[in-house]
Structure 1
């Protein structure tokens, strides 16, 4: 995977700092009682900088930097790989890059999303955006249209598998190996036809 340049790394550091301070303030004061101005001040940036990273308060929890990385790694996989194999490889590469701090941030974000109705609603919108992103990637690989029913169904199943795996993992105290294994287990179950 191509490592981000200095400018991109600084953007990611600021994004993470905003998320960390937001999660801390939400834990201390509650989601509804915390303002964007308070988050920005705690992170040492202006409210306008907050809005450059996150269009809404919900997005500071729901949004992350992973979609462009998913595209980058997916496109680097062999064109001969089936889409599901390529997506499983994407997860393997991404998890190899995660730090303990990344994993803990993901866990806190997921737990917050499931605890706050406004965040759950925003997560639905983010899920649709991820499905559309995957549909474009898979369609290009297979020479089909992103709007094909089978493409849309496939990518919806992938995102649902990821969501189930992440939510089940977030209920535990496991690390990145546990998250990677849980996500791969869900994809393997899907590949097998989801037998019971």
Structure 2
């Protein structure tokens, strides 16, 4: 799902993006999130501030977005067309998280702890324009073959994004001790169950 070959240009862009993020996390570890500026991150990554903003719209997006969204969209669209969207999300996201834990666990832990500890990041994951909510909405409209999302689609995307955000916070608050993939799977199991177990 995540290992499609990249062109030379795409590899260079990915390398720059990863360098910016790596240097940002190093600076944040040294001086804190609020005290770390975009100018400092850009200088450490040896890029201009304008280059930083080509890759990340804001400092918050550096933590909240990643390279896996296209893979997640592709995985969701590849699921059986007669499968419920909840089941598709459960299968695709659980698989993606297992891959992340295997290959990028340390960075994932850093990101989740920042989301938990930094109020600006924590509030953004529950925002209506959060990356997960936009992703779910994009896939729902594409699967339905419509240009504009319906009210039901917006409600579904909002509910899924909120549930995903709660799973992220639960994992971060436990210090990454829980199996994140199992936590995601349980999250979607509760949604699929329609809250009947409550």
2:43 pairs, out of 28, 41, 44, with 41
Of 88-97 and 122-131, deviating more is 122-131
Instruction: Evaluate the alpha carbon distance shift between residue 144 and residue 60 of structure 1 in structure 2; reply closer, same or farther with a 3 A threshold.
Output: closer
Paired position in structure 2 for 1:181: 182
Higher relative contact order (CA 8 A, sep 6+): 2
Matches within 5 A, 1:83-98: 83-98=85-100
Structure 2 residue runs without a partner (length 5+):
none
Matches within 5 A, 1:99-118: 100=102, 102-118=104-120
Cα deviation digits, residues 5-42 of structure 1 (max 9, x gap): 14334323322222222122112112222221211222
Partner SS for 1:81: coil
Structure 2 Cα separation of the partners of residues 4 and 163 of structure 1: 30
2:74 pairs, out of 51, 72, 82, with 72
Structure 2 Cα separation of the partners of residues 130 and 67 of structure 1: 9
How much is the aligned-residue C-alpha RMSD, in angstroms?
Answer: 2.6
Residues 135, 151 of structure 1: 8 Å contact kept: yes
Structure 1 Cα separation of the partners of residues 68 and 148 of structure 2: 21
Partner SS for 1:147: coil
Structure 2 Cα separation of the partners of residues 60 and 66 of structure 1: 13
1:82 pairs, out of 66, 84, 94, with 84
Matches within 5 A, 1:22-171: 22-98=24-100, 100=102, 102-125=104-127, 127-142=129-144, 146-171=148-173
Instruction: Evaluate the alpha carbon distance shift between residue 149 and residue 191 of structure 1 in structure 2; reply closer, same or farther with a 3 A threshold.
Output: same
Structure 2 Cα separation of the partners of residues 173 and 89 of structure 1: 24
Q: Structure 1 length normalisation: TM-score?
A: 0.84
Q: Structure 2 length normalisation: TM-score?
A: 0.83
Structure 1 residue runs without a partner (length 5+):
none
Residues 94, 181 of structure 2: 8 Å contact kept: yes
Residues 38, 59 of structure 2: 8 Å contact kept: yes
